[in-house]
Amino acid sequence: MKSINSIPTSKIARAKTLLKTGVQVGGNYTVHYTKKILGQDVSQNDLDKENASAIYDGLKTMKGSALKVAQMLSMEKNMLPEAYYDQFSLAQFSVPPLSYPLVQKSFKRSMGQSPEVLFDRFEREAAHAASIGQVHKAYKDGHAYAVKIQYPGVAESIVSDLKLVKPVALKMFNINAKDSEKYFQEVQDKLLEETDYQLELEQSQAIAQSCAGLDNVRFPSYYRSLSSDRILTMDWMEGQHIQTFAKAHRGTELAHRVGQSLWDFYMYQMHLLKKVHADPHPGNFLVDVENRLVPIDFGCMKQVPENFYTPYFALATAEAQNDRGVFDALLWDLEILVPSDDQATIKYVSDLFHELLSLFTQPFQRDQFDFSNPDFWEAIGALSKRLSSDQTIRKMNGNRGSKHFLYINRTFYGLYNLLFDLGARVDTKSFARYMN
C-alpha cells in the first residue's frame, strides 16, 4: 500500500480537506440525478459506493479523530448502507501508513533519538496502520517488539475536528445543541485519552494484571523505558486477526472456545472491574497459534459508574421487562425519559425501549446463546430499518439517555458483532466462576 508523506494538521488544512470531500459528494449527487432525469439506469447503491469512497478517501488523508469516526461507524452493521459499511471497515485494517522519513521524524521528536539507535533493528515498513497511529516491528537483544507510533498532530486536532463535525451530527441525530455538550464532551475526552500513550500503557498493564486468571486469554507485556506519550512499545504477539480466524473457523469448536473467552473477558471487566475495553473492533484482537484470545489495544477504556451500572443491567432482566412500572422507573434513572416528556411521549419512548431491550438483551436472559442464530440478526436488522424511517423518532429531541450509553452500547454492539463473525455459542453465565 502506498505510504503518505504528510497529514493536514492545522484547523484550516483539515477543514479544506472536509470541504473538498463535500464538494466531491455534491458532484456525485448532481451526476446521479442528472442521469436519472435523462432516463439512464442508475441505482442508489451506485451513488452510495461513490460517496462512501469519496468520504473514506478524505478521512484516511486526515487520519486521527476523523478516521476514528469511520472506524466506529463500521461497527454498526445494521445502521449503515452496505457500501458505507464496506468502505469504513477498511479503517480497521487497510489504512495507508506514513512514509518512513515522517515516521523517523515523529519518533525522534518523541523519544529524543531515532528508532535505529534505540533498537537493534527497526522495520521501515509498518506492520499495521490505523486511525491514530501505526505499528512497526522492532528487535532489541533478541526480543521482538511492537512499536506503536502516533501520527503527528492527531492529539492537537481532536477538538477542532469535533467542532467541524458537530453541526452535521446535531442535524443527523436531531440533537438539541443546548443540551448536547455532555455527549460531545464524552467523545472528546475518550479520543484525547486514546492519544495519551502513557495512559494506555498504565491501562494495559492494569487490565493484563486484573485479567491474568482468565482462561484462554493472553496479554503482551509493555515497556515504559521504550515508550513515551506518543510512542508505545509492547511485546510482538504472533497470531492472526480475529476476523481472519473467524472466516476460517466460523461455527467450529475452536470458534466457540475463542468466543467464550471473548464473552468472559468482557463480562469480567463489566461486572467486576467496572472498567471495560470500549473499542471491540476486529483490529484490536488476535488469536495466537494455541487459539488463545490476545487483546492488543487498551487506548479506549470506559469506567462504568455504579449509578449507571445498576439500572443499566437491571433493564436486561426479565423481572424488569415484565413489570412496566419498574421498567419505566429505570428509564427515568438512565435519563431515557426526561422531565420535558408529556404522557404521550412517555408511553411512546417506554414502548420503543421495551421492544428494543426485549430483543437486544436476549443473551443475558439465557444460560446459553448462539450468536450465529439468523433469526436474532434478522430481527435486529428489521427493527433498525423500521426505526430509521420512523417519523416520530425523527421529530423527537435526540438529547435522551445518559452520556455513558455512548461507549457502553458501542461496546456491547461491537462484542455481539465479533461473536456473530465467530458463529460462537457461549455459556453466558460462565464468567461468574472468576468473580471471587
DSSP H or E run through 148: strand 143-150
The answer to whether residue 74 is domain-embedded is yes
Give the CA distances from residue 38 to residues 34, 35, 43, 238, 431, in Å, rounded to whole numbers and listed in that order. 6, 5, 14, 55, 61
Higher pLDDT, 219 or 187: 219
The answer to whether residue 373 is domain-embedded is yes
Confidence at 36, pLDDT banded by 50, 70, 90? low
Give the total number of structural domains in the chain: 2
Dist CA 380 CA 386 (whole Å) = 10
Nearest to 93 by CA among 36, 135, 39, 34: 135
The pLDDT tens digits for 152-173 are 888 888 887 777 767 666 654 5
The answer to whether residue 399 is domain-embedded is yes
Q: What is the pLDDT of residue 214?
A: 97
Domain end position, chosen among 31, 62, 92: 92
DSSP H or E run through 240: strand 240-241
CB atoms within 10 A of CB 269: 23
Q: What is the pLDDT of residue 61?
A: 66
Q: Is the pLDDT of residue 60 over 70?
A: no
Q: Is the pLDDT of residue 74 over 60?
A: no
Dist CA 299 CA 204 (whole Å) = 8
The answer to whether residue 245 is domain-embedded is no
Tell me the DSSP string of 256-293. HHHHHHHHHHHHHIIIIISEEE----GGGEEE-TT--E
Q: Is the pLDDT of residue 125 over 70?
A: yes
Domain end position, chosen among 72, 92, 112: 92
CB atoms within 10 A of CB 90: 17
Q: Which amino acid is at 388?
A: S
Q: Is the pLDDT of residue 435 over 70?
A: yes
* Cell representation of residue 119: 533498537
Confidence at 23, pLDDT banded by 50, 70, 90? low
Dist CA 266 CA 288 (whole Å) = 19
Q: Which amino acid is at 123?
A: E
Tell me the DSSP string of 29-50. HHHHHHHHHTT----HHHHHHH
* Cell representation of residue 284: 484490536
* Cell representation of residue 150: 502516533
The answer to whether residue 387 is domain-embedded is yes
Nearest to 56 by CA among 21, 101, 23: 21
The pLDDT tens digits for 285-335 are 999 999 999 999 999 999 999 999 999 999 999 999 999 999 999 999 999
The answer to whether residue 249 is domain-embedded is no
* Cell representation of residue 43: 441505482
The answer to whether residue 278 is domain-embedded is no
179-214 burial string, b = 16+ CB within 10 Å, else e? ebeebbebbbebbeebbbbebbbebbbebbeebeeb
Q: What percent of the chain has pLDDT over 70?
A: 75
Contact yes or no for 104/114 (Cβ under 8 A): yes
Dist CA 320 CA 71 (whole Å) = 34
Dist CA 392 CA 405 (whole Å) = 21
Q: What is the pLDDT of residue 286?
A: 97
The answer to whether residue 156 is domain-embedded is no
Domain with 71, as residue range(s), is 11-92
Q: Number of C-alpha atoms within 13 angstroms, CB side, residue 69?
A: 18
Q: Who contacts 192 (Cβ-Cβ below 8 Å, separation ≥6)? A: 155, 158
Q: Which of 26-35, 62-71, 260-269, 378-387 has the highest mean pLDDT?
A: 260-269
326-339 burial string, b = 16+ CB within 10 Å, else e? ebbebbebbbbbbe
Domain end position, chosen among 38, 66, 92: 92
* Cell representation of residue 399: 438529547
Out of 19-33, 155-169, 362-376, least confident range: 19-33
Dist CA 99 CA 149 (whole Å) = 12
